Amino acid sequence: MDPDAALLYLVESPETATRYGVSVGAVGFEWQGTARLQFTRSWPRWKVPEVMAERSPELRPFTVANGGMDPGPGNPLGARALYLFQNGEDTLYRIHGDGRPWELGQSVSSGCIRMLNQDVIDLEARSVHGSDVIVLPSIKPAGLQALY
């Protein structure tokens, strides 16, 4: 995943890859490195991490302790979620769906990689359990916004 270009590539062979447009994490919440695709979920339940609920108290009803948010149109994880782990631990970062095409290329999440629902459905169907997911470091100067 290239955060500066707002593109995710599914590498299919040394010669081919499928490219998807994405939205990336907001400045200050960006993540980089190599993770493992541990598992996927169709129409996932959103369970807000405590650290996010502390920043945004209006999300407290959707924390793990409160059972999370039901799947469906209002759920920010969209149609699918791919769960990223490092060293056997959940990174709390996801590749997930979103129904807002105008957000592509923007820094709009708390670090997750958002895709259009139809794209994340395609990616999830073609993904391989245990695959490496590589998120490149951003080389944009701090505070520079995407122009696409």
**Residues annotated as part of the active site:** 96, 112
Distances (CA, A) of 146 to 29, 56, 60: 16, 25, 30
Please say whether the beta carbons of 114 and 103 come within 8 A. Answer: yes
CA–CA distance, 23 with 100 (Å, rounded to integer): 10
Task: Identify the residue whose tokens are 């820094």.
Answer: 107
DSSP class of 18 = E
Residue labelled with tokens 């996932």: 44
